[in-house]
Amino acid sequence: MTEAAANSPFVGESENARPSLSLDDAANLNFAEPEEANEQEEEEQQSASETGETTEDGQETDETAAEGDEPAESEQDEAANEAEDIVVTLKGGEQVPLEELKLGYMRDRDYRHKTMDLGKRSSSLEAMSTRVASTANAIAEFLIQQLPQEPSRAMAIQNPNEYTRAKAVYDSALEQVQRLIDMSAEPKNVAGELNNAVTEETLAAENAKLLEAFPHLVRDDAREKFFSDAFKVGEDLGFSPDEMQGFTDHRYFKVMHYAMLGLQAEQARGKALNKVNNAPPATPKAKPNGAVNPQARKNQDAMKRLSKTGSIKDAMSIDFD
């Protein structure tokens, strides 16, 4: 047995019992020294432990982030509550909550959008109805030009059969023309009805805005007085009754109402100034004639001291003569 065979790790085994090595097995053999192999295993274990710590740190980070979301939500709720409690002072000194101002702005914006939509619908419907009516009228005029000549009475006497045929053709064509004329009037009627509906919706919206500004107008007597005063002021400002009858925007009546209040305040101010200017001059209060007697003043001072002190000395200083 050779020296290489004695040093082989398979000493004691027969050559037939040794496992044969393929090229793949040889490539997978680890030729590192035992100390190097141990160092590699320790490095792998250390990296695995660091990965585990990283995972735990990641979980802790998620938990911290979850805990940090709760204070943010509470801060948002507190900010919303503070916004609801904010009170805004208007120019006239009236204090209005911020939430109410927001609601008022939203209502005003919705009102403007609805008014614009109603105006667009009305204009579109009017344009469509005009176009359809114009088309129908044009066709009717064309058919009128194509109408056959109406048979004369003389033809009825001379040739009754031909007259009957010609009269039937003429009546049929005339009926078609009349049908087209009726069709041209129908879009106008529909447009008029739709415009009336739009006007009613507009008036209802304007009335709601007016009641929002002046809630007391729900009473009939207050409403009648309000419009009577508004029309009177409008006439004073130069509006004609026909113009004011066509007002549908509630803002016109608000302006006239406040104009009336301003005119009344101006009239009251003028009356007060006239009253002040026409009042008689005030007379000065008459002063007592002559100087005060020194002895009398001395006795008065002595009596005051006596009332405070009650001493005999102060009593003796009074002159009773």
The string of pLDDT tens digits covering residues 73-103 is: 666 666 556 656 787 776 666 676 777 767 7
Q: Does residue 67 have a pLDDT over 80?
A: no
| Amino acid, res. 171 | D
Give the up-direction half-sphere exposure of residue 275: CA atoms within 13 A in the CB hemisphere: 6
315, 316, 319, 321: CA torsion to nearest 10? 110
Calculate mean pLDDT across residues 204-220.
88
CA distance 206 to 111: 9
User: What's the pLDDT at 308?
Assistant: 78
253 vs 65, higher pLDDT: 253
Strand residue runs (E) in the chain: 87-89, 95-97
The string of pLDDT tens digits covering residues 28-55 is: 545 444 454 455 555 555 555 544 444 4
Contacts of residue 177, defined as CB under 8 A and 6 or more positions apart, other chains included, come to: 140, 143, 144, 147
Q: Does residue 128 have a pLDDT over 60?
A: yes
CA distance 44 to 9: 29
The string of pLDDT tens digits covering residues 291-310 is: 556 777 777 787 788 777 76
Polymer length in residues for the chain: 321
User: What's the pLDDT at 3?
Assistant: 44
CA distance 300 to 303: 5
Calculate mean pLDDT across residues 179-207.
73
**How do the domains of the chain map onto residue ranges?**
89-213, 215-274
**CA gyration radius for the chain?**
55
User: What's the pLDDT at 198?
Assistant: 63
